[in-house]
Each structure stands twice: as structure tokens, then as C-alpha cells.
Amino acid sequence: MDESALPEDHPRYESLVTRHRIEAGVDRGITSRQGLIAQGRGEAFDYLLGEETIPTADRAARAGVARLLAADHPVVSVNGNVAALAPGETVELADAVSAALEVNLFNRTDERMEAIEEHLREHGAADVKGLTADGRIPGLDHERATVDADGIGAADAVLVPLEDGDRAEALAAMGKVVVAIDLNPGSRTARVADVPIVDNVVRALPAMTAHARELAGADDGELERIAAAFDPDEALAAAERAIREGEF
Ligand code: ATP
């Protein structure tokens, strides 16, 4: 079924679109079957959050952008779910914060790496890292440790939308600033991130681009103030409250 055939007046239209994009991603060899499971987990949390961006998530998005803009070598990490859900939005954000794009897969195969690289190029990416694979993240097994030495290897700040907890922890242990988008405020990724954005990537990525455009002229002092004013523990607690207190 084509995305345009989905009923726009359906009360959960956005959720249907998201689900459909992941299915199409699997069919095209971009998203892994495990990605379907991650999607299901994400949908459950999004449902509990009312399928909208809570105010603290938007403040986190702004703080995350401030950290990326202040970095010398920011990198946006792209996996099969993100590539399927929001390829154009990912490329736009990377441009807006002058970050490199790097494909980084939990279940790495050459075919999927290449399919995602091509998909990102079709959505406007000029340069896509990840295929050189000449760097390692210490503390992870070979396949999951593989990165580009001049990409995530050299990054001082990494945006990880939907990252697995082990790798987020390993990136933080390398001293990198970790900005994570994850709908589960209790996930290890959210807990280890310097800036956890508890929101759906389909909403968070364009919101971050809008913040980046607004902050384009900000000096280092202002970026530092925005980043320092953000408290990750408070943001996670607010997301948990929103989940507990939501009415459905
Ligand atoms: P961790 O290893 O961090 O404790 P996990 O084992 O649940 O977490 P995975 O299953 O690898 O991690 O990743 C799925 C994570 O991504 C889940 O936390 C899920 O809520 C989140 N997720 C899935 N889809 C989306 C989405 N569209 N936007 C944001 N987050 C999402």
C-alpha cells in the first residue's frame, strides 16, 4: 500500500504513517526485522505520552541543538529506523547544525549500509560516513564497535536517535557528548545521555532543525547557557510523570 492511501482522517493517522514507513523500510532492505521490534516499543511509549511533544522534550531538543552547535565535530548517527522514518529531516538537521552524517547499525551488513547511504543521498545528503569502517568504539564487540575514524571516532558530540544502550554508554565513556532521542525515559540510552530527548524522532528531528535555525547566530556563551540550564534527570522525571498522569 502506498502511504498516500492511508486515511488522513484516521484519529491515529501519524502512527499509521510511521508504521507504514518502517514496513516499507524493511521491504527495501533499509530497516532490519529487529527494527520492527524497536518500533513497537517506541509506539507503546508514544501512545503513553499522548503522541505529542511534551514541553520538557522541546526544551531538551533546544539544549541538544545547543550542544551540537557548540561542538567542533558533531555527528548525526543514522540507523535503519531513522533512515526509514525521517531521511529528509535527518539530512536537514545535519545541515542545520553542520554535522556529519554517519550510518551506524546494530546489525551491520554491507547491503544495509549501502542501501541506507543511497537512501540518504536520494534525500539530499552530500556526504555519508560509515562505510570506511576504520575506527572502533572501545568496549563493544567488533561488529557494533565499528565506526569511521574521522566520523563518530573523532566526534566530540553525537546525536543518536534510537540508539542501543550499550553503544550509548560506550560513546559516553569515550567522553563524547551524547544527545539521544528515545521515547522510553527508562532506557539505558536515555539515562546515559547528556541530553535525553523523550520524543518521537519524526517530531523531534524537525523541531531540532527549527531550533538550530533560530540559534544560528548565537555565540558560544549563549549556547553554553542553554546547555547548562538543561537538567537531564529533571527531563526524564517529567517524561515519567507525563506517562503516569496521562489520561486515555
Ligand atoms: P536500551 O538498550 O537503551 O535500554 P532497548 O533495549 O529498549 O533500550 P532498543 O530496542 O535497541 O533499545 O531500541 C529501541 C528504543 O528506541 C526503545 O527505547 C524505543 O522506545 C525507542 N524508539 C523506537 N521508535 C522510536 C521513535 N520513532 N522515536 C523515538 N524513539 C523510538
**Ligand 1 in contact with 57 (CB < 6 A)?**
no
Q: Contact, 109 vs 33, CB < 8 A?
A: no
Residues with Cβ < 8 Å from 25, sequence gap 6 or more?
31, 35, 80, 81, 83, 84, 85
pLDDT of the residue at 137: 96
Per-residue pLDDT of 190-242, as tens digits, reads: 999 999 999 999 999 999 999 999 999 999 999 999 999 999 999 999 999 99
Say if ligand 1 is within 6 A of residue 181 CB: yes
pLDDT of residue 7: 80
The whole-chain average pLDDT of the chain stands at: 95
Question: Ligand 1 center to residue 218 CA distance, Å?
Answer: 32
Mean pLDDT for the stretch of residues 35-52: 95
Per-residue pLDDT at 14: 83
19 lines ligand 1 (CB under 6 A): no
Percentage of the chain beyond pLDDT 70 is 99
d(CA 198, CA 180): 8
pLDDT confidence of 66, banded at 50, 70, 90? very high
Residue 247: the pLDDT is 59
Mean pLDDT of 78-95: 98
Rounded distance between C-alpha atoms, residue 97 and residue 94, angstroms: 5
Domains located in the chain, CATH noted? 55-245 (3.40.50.12640)
Q: Read off the pLDDT band of 13 (50, 70, 90).
A: confident
pLDDT-derived band at 10 (thresholds 50, 70, 90) equals confident
Cα(40) to centroid of ligand 1, in Å? 9
- Residue 8: per-residue pLDDT: 85
H/E stretch holding 179 reads strand 177-181
pLDDT value at residue 248: 54
Q: Whose CA is nearest to atom 19 of ligand 1?
A: 42
Ligand 1 pocket, residue 189 CB under 6 Å = yes
pLDDT digits (tens, 9 = 90+) for 90-119: 999 999 999 999 999 988 999 999 999 999
